Amino acid sequence: MNIHIAEFEDANSIVEFNQAMALETEGKELAADVLRSGVEAVFNDDKKGFYVVARNVDKQIVGCLMVTFEWSDWRGKWFWWIQSVYILPEFRGRGIYRSLYAFVKEKAIERRNVCGFRLYVEKENRNAQNVYQKLGMESSYYLMYEEKLSTEPIF
C-alpha cells in the first residue's frame, strides 16, 4: 500500500467513497453536488482539514479518511478528528485502516502540536469499534449531541 495525503485529482474517488459509506452505514443517498462541493472545499482550504488515501499496487485508491481539527484550550494543542473513513469492501480486513491511522499519527507527531485523535462511530458498528480499540483508541467519556441548522437537504 502507498499511503499519502490526497490531492485534488483524488476528489472523484473520495466523493464516491463518501456516497458508498453513507448508503452502507446510514441508508442515505447523499446529493452528489453538495458532497462534491464539500469534498473540494477541503482541498481548497487547508484549515478545514486534509484527506489521506491508500493506493494498491495498481495505483487504485482503495481507502481513505479525512482529518479535521479541534483546538483544545485545556491542552493548548489540537485534537485531530478522523472522519469519512472508507475502505472498499473487497479490501477490508487487510490492515488498510491500520496503515492510514499510522500515517496520520506520524504526521501528528511531526507537527508536535497535536494532543490526540478523536472520531465518532455508530453505536451498532461493532466491526469498526473493534478495529479502533485494537489500535489503542478507547471509548470516550463524552456523548455526542447535535442540532442541525441547515434546511438544505444533504440527501
Residue type, 85: V
**CB 140 within 8 Å of CB 103:** no
Do the domain assignments include residue 58? yes
How many other CB atoms are there within 10 angstroms of residue 138's CB atom?
7
How many other CB atoms are there within 10 angstroms of residue 1's CB atom?
18
Tens-digit pLDDT profile for residues 77-120:
999 999 999 999 999 999 999 999 999 999 999 999 999 999 99
Q: Name the pTM for this structure.
A: 0.92
When divided into structural domains, the chain yields a total of 1
CATH of the domain at 23: 3.40.630.30
Do the domain assignments include residue 26? yes
Do the domain assignments include residue 13? yes
Q: Domain span at residue 95?
A: 2-134
> Residues with Cβ < 8 Å from 52, sequence gap 6 or more?
3, 4, 5, 6, 64, 65, 66, 67, 100, 103, 104
Tell how strand 61-72 and strand 114-119 pair up.
Answer: unpaired
Check whether 4 has a pLDDT greater than 70: yes
Query: Any idea what DSSP says for residue 36?
Result: H
Do the domain assignments include residue 92? yes
Do the domain assignments include residue 18? yes
Do the domain assignments include residue 140? no
Tens-digit pLDDT profile for residues 56-67:
999 999 999 999
